[in-house]
Amino acid sequence: MNPEAVEAVEAAEAAPPDVTVTVIVYNDARRLPRAVESVRRQTHRNIEIIISDDHSTDETPEVARRLASQDPRIRRLRLPRNSGGCSAPRNRALEIARAPYVMFLDSDDELTDDAVELLLAAHREREIDFAMGAVVRVREDSGRRTRWMPHLVAERRTVIGIESEPRLLFEHLSTSKMYARTFLDRHDLRFPEGIHYEDQLFTAQAYCLAKEFTVIPEPVYRWYVAQYAATSTATASISNQRDRLDNVRDRVRVQRLIDDFLAESGHAGLREDKDYKFLKHDFRMYAGDVPYRDDAWLAAFADLTTPYLDSLAPTAYSRLPRTERVVLQLIRERRFPEARLAARGLGRAVAPRHVTSDVTEGAAYSGRTIPTHWGKTIPTYWGETVPTTDTSRRELDVSDLELDTRPFRSALFRHEITELTRGPGASIDLTIRTYDPGRRLPVGPHRAGLLLTPGRRRLTVPFRLSPVSPGIFEGQVHLDLTRAPVPHHGFTGTRHPLLRIECQSLHNTAVLLAPLAFPILTTRIDYHSGTAPHRVTVEPEPHGPGRLQIRWQPLGITGNLVHPVVRRLARPRVRRAARLLRSALR
């Protein structure tokens, strides 16, 4: 190792540290102090902190130097040139780490206050190769917190070999774990340099090489996630830059490296579970973005992924939900317009526009699975054409969606806004088309309603859906946003209207898809009921299925003072006091 690349200060304590925490950083002077402070305030104090700088060109070196001057437990390391990834700064830090246990932290994240104490206790209870805890994902735009893969870390346990719990392959973060240094050195386990998604390969190797590891349910890591946009931003992490084809290429490359490692290390039996993880997690993230991609991008994406998809275990595909299998197959067949339609229903219970049947007796298919005289059923396929290959028939068979037999409350429809125009004042006029491929709605008009709930009360706008052709209905909605029941203390948030259909005293409520692009409509609403004025924005949802999205933001004193307090406390007595305060300030 180049000695000029390391800048370190001598440890203040004679005793060696129990744990080394490496904080990797590149051009992140703003967030580095937050990450380092999360390590400094650990309840277990005997630790070493290595700031490993991947040759930053901003103020990061100065910030690291100042942090080291504040705490003798901090050492600084600066790479002589930028490596372009996370692996090299982690590996260089491992070369100088002095503790028998090591952890890794990214500069834009944090450790929980007792992370080191909890994971070190697991190591001291029994001889294990690593310990892992829960991860909390924090949305940087909203502050919303959720557990990452909560079902995998719900209970404390020691796992004897990954083969006993292959589902843990889904938890591929290296940063949620504390490793025994002897384990890493015994297997010469280091992060692969020169590629992205290094965590996936490193963690897969750790899982396979470990004889025993312990899972604890307590949170140990806070993962800050920048909101994903349709295009890359400076703040988006590598995993959120999914519009970049290099990103796709790196994911596929890492998967092939994992496959090679499984075969060479005698863990080929894990291949199906690893393939399922790739389809369900890695590919699924790209599939959700398909509606926003043009044909040229999708063609390049198919070129990169299809050869690898063709190599995966068929049993891995069979474990996926049907809607995900349809999107996968349509991309593999390069049927991109249909893939966009299918992807808009992922995770949202949205029906196809059309289905067809493999009717070999010349009868026209009416849109439902019809029984044959042998007591079998004729398969129902996505789209308006019957698949021509065995693979396509298997993957595009949507018979298991039970389009014509599900209970009406859970029946699958497809509601799309086909026209959206600005009306008078703060109103919009919508033309809505409903597709009913299972023929669940009798011929004739049907009562429907648009549902919108800013706060606790709901606005229902009734309208009528009328038939325009078999299985297709249309209706007109006039949505006056001044009628939305916004709470008196104000409402900050986003809502996506739903559509409800009534049929023979039964109701079905489902998402409403909007055009993926239309001019954003913004207006100020001055309510007459004593409610604070709000800025209201109507826009297409920027990701996911592309629903109609409406955002509210209180203005004036309510927005700057009263509403933030009420939102934090959210108690009835405080809300009443806020209303009195607002009235007095007027």
Which DSSP string corresponds to 147-209? Answer: EESGGGSSS-EEEESGGG-GGGGG---STTEEEEHHHHHHTT--PPTTSS-HHHHHHHHHHHH
Give the C-alpha separation, 114 to 497, whole Å.
Answer: 42
| Inter-residue contact 447 to 507 (CB < 8 Å) | no
| DSSP state string for 76-100 | EEE-SS--SSSHHHHHHHHHH--SS
Buried b (16+ CB within 10 A) or exposed e, 194-219: ebbbbbbbbbbbbbbbbeebbbbeeb
Q: Which pLDDT tens digits describe the chain residue by residue (586 residues)?
A: 443 344 443 443 457 999 999 999 999 999 999 999 999 999 999 999 999 999 999 999 999 999 999 999 999 999 999 999 999 999 999 999 999 999 999 999 999 999 999 999 999 999 999 999 999 999 887 788 999 999 999 999 999 999 999 999 999 999 999 999 999 999 999 999 988 899 999 999 999 999 999 999 999 999 999 865 434 444 445 555 788 999 999 999 999 999 999 999 999 999 999 999 999 999 999 999 999 999 999 999 999 999 999 999 999 999 999 999 999 999 999 999 999 999 999 999 999 999 999 765 444 444 444 444 444 568 999 999 999 999 999 999 999 999 999 999 999 999 999 999 999 999 999 999 999 999 999 999 999 999 999 988 999 999 999 999 999 999 999 999 999 999 888 899 999 999 999 998 999 999 999 999 999 999 999 987 778 899 999 999 988 899 999 999 999 865 555 445 544 544 445 455 555 554 544 4
Query: Under DSSP, is residue 558 helix (H, G, I), strand (E, B) or coil?
Result: helix
Distance between first and last Cα of the chain = 68
pLDDT for 159 equals: 98
Alpha-carbon radius of gyration of the chain: 28
What angle do the packed helices 336-343 and 295-309 form, to 10 degrees? 80
Distances (CA, A) of 511 to 344, 450, 460: 11, 10, 15
Give the C-alpha separation, 529 to 542, whole Å.
Answer: 32
φ, ψ for residue 187, nearest 5 deg: -105, 10
Residue whose C-alpha is closest to residue 523's, from 481, 556, 476, 567: 481
Domain range list for the chain: 3-225, 259-401, 409-585
pLDDT for 577 equals: 55
| Tokens read off for 469 | 């052709």
Cα 174–chain centre separation = 18
φ, ψ for residue 454, nearest 5 deg: -85, 110
pLDDT for 532 equals: 86
pLDDT for 540 equals: 95
According to DSSP, residue 397 is labeled B
pLDDT for 235 equals: 44
Which CATH superfamily does the domain covering 3-225 fall into?
Answer: Spore Coat Polysaccharide Biosynthesis Protein SpsA; Chain A (3.90.550.10)
Give the C-alpha separation, 49 to 244, whole Å.
Answer: 34
Give the C-alpha separation, 65 to 398, whole Å.
Answer: 60
